[in-house]
Amino acid sequence: MNALYEDIALMIEAEGPIGVDRFMALALGHPRHGYYMTRDPFGLQGDFITAPEISQIFGELLGLLAAMHWQQMGEPRRIALVELGPGRGTLMADALRAAKALPGFAAALEVHLVEMSPVLRRAQGETLAECGHQPRWHLTIDDLPDDLPLIILANEFFDALPVRHFQRLADGWHERLIGLDAERRLTFGLAPEPVAQITLAGPEGALFETSPIGLDIMRRLAGRLVRQTGMMLVVDYGHIRSGFGESLQAVRQHRFAPVLEAPGEADITAHVDFATLAIAAKRSGADVHPFLTQATLLERLGIDNRAKILKAKAENPAAIDAAVQRLTGTGEAGMGQLFKALAITSPGSAVPAGFEGADARLSSPPAQED
């Protein structure tokens, strides 16, 4: 039992069982003991590796996509390049390096980072110290500039936002809660009364997972794009068809761990429901472009050509091939199919690079979205 476990146990004893979303928010963002507030979790020495840490090509291609969209927007004199949850700043550093291919874009942009972790803010400052731009940090999206066009990058951001769970019983949907068992261990249970607002049809025993905070953030960012113009790119792991089942998971030292065992010491995430994110953006008035897999997006943006250029100068070309395979491949080690990409733009904007001619369908919105 660690310090955060004890804090949560005392909270439950005083107030009663808490929702999965509250547990997740505390485990990740508690000001003293939260996972992201106390450590740098990335890389081989951390708990997991993200695409920007695998290869510089990932961030470079997203930077080129951003620069090309700036051109498609008519090359505005000033624009905010925003990253949500920027990790160590690796993606942004690579994107800014690639942006130099269009000097006008590099001169027009302001760099804005939405980050709550003081540890990661320091790492981002070090990574971007010589990028040629002075980053501006924000605790929430509400602090982003409201007078500039926006290009927003969100790589593995939505998967870390708290989710709520509901299970269908004979009398309706009951919220899944976290309480204490007889031995004072954290355990899952169900609220005694059903939630009347949820009228979703589903078989008895089904579990429904949703992220109200994720949908709210998407609505607000899409609304900003409508007012301020611009584009948002979401790359994350998840599914493009809404359905039943839970995906909550904890990862520690590159291995899965029990979700409730050591809050604050493991990363906790859930698969992103891209369908409901897209619906939230569309309902806010933004244009939503069909989904792509990460593999398709990177291939259309030229990952093979970029890898060929890097291999010509590399001491270990095989390492570059392995990185490309990790980013675009299938199977347990590949990210290419599990990770999806969603592009959202202001109404009437040009289709972002890579998304031209894409073909996918949105699923129907869940009932509680109404």
- Predicted pLDDT of residue 362: 35
- Predicted pLDDT of residue 360: 44
The helix/strand/coil state of 190 is strand
Q: Is the pLDDT of residue 363 over 70?
A: no
Closest CA to 127 of 146, 116, 140, 113: 113
pLDDT in tens, 195-249: 999 989 999 999 999 999 999 999 999 999 999 999 999 999 999 988 899 999 9
CB atoms within 10 A of CB 208: 22
- Predicted pLDDT of residue 333: 76
Alpha-carbon distance values, 335 to 37, 279, 304, 338 (Å) = 27, 24, 16, 6
**Parallel, antiparallel, or unpaired: how do β-strands 230-239 and 339-345 relate?**
antiparallel
- Predicted pLDDT of residue 39: 77
Quickly tell me which residue has 């999806």 as its tokens.
Answer: 340
- Predicted pLDDT of residue 46: 64
User: Encoding tokens for residue 116?
Assistant: 């709550």
Q: Is the pLDDT of residue 370 over 50?
A: no
Residue 331 pLDDT grade (very low, low, confident, very high; cuts 50, 70, 90): confident
User: Encoding tokens for residue 100?
Assistant: 């130099």
Mean pLDDT lowest among 27-36, 152-161, 165-174, 276-285: 27-36
Q: Give the DSSP per-residue string, 39-105.
A: ---BSTTSSB--HHHH-HHHHHHHHHHHHHHHHHTT--S-EEEEEES-TTSHHHHHHHHHHTTSHHH
- Predicted pLDDT of residue 47: 67
The helix/strand/coil state of 302 is coil
Q: Give the DSSP per-residue string, 225-269.
A: HHHH-EEEEEEEEEESS--S----EEEETTEEE-TTTSTTSSEEE
Cα separation, 299 vs 301, whole angstroms: 5
pTM of the model: 0.93
pLDDT in tens, 246-274: 999 999 887 889 999 999 999 999 999 99
**Parallel, antiparallel, or unpaired: how do β-strands 207-210 and 186-190 relate?**
unpaired
List, in order of start, the domains of the chain with CATH numbers.
33-162+209-369 (3.40.50.12710)
In the structure, how many helices (H) and strands (E) does the chain have?
13, 16
> Taking the alpha carbons of 358, 364, 365, 366 in that order, is the dihedral positive or negative?
negative
Average pLDDT over residues 27-32: 92
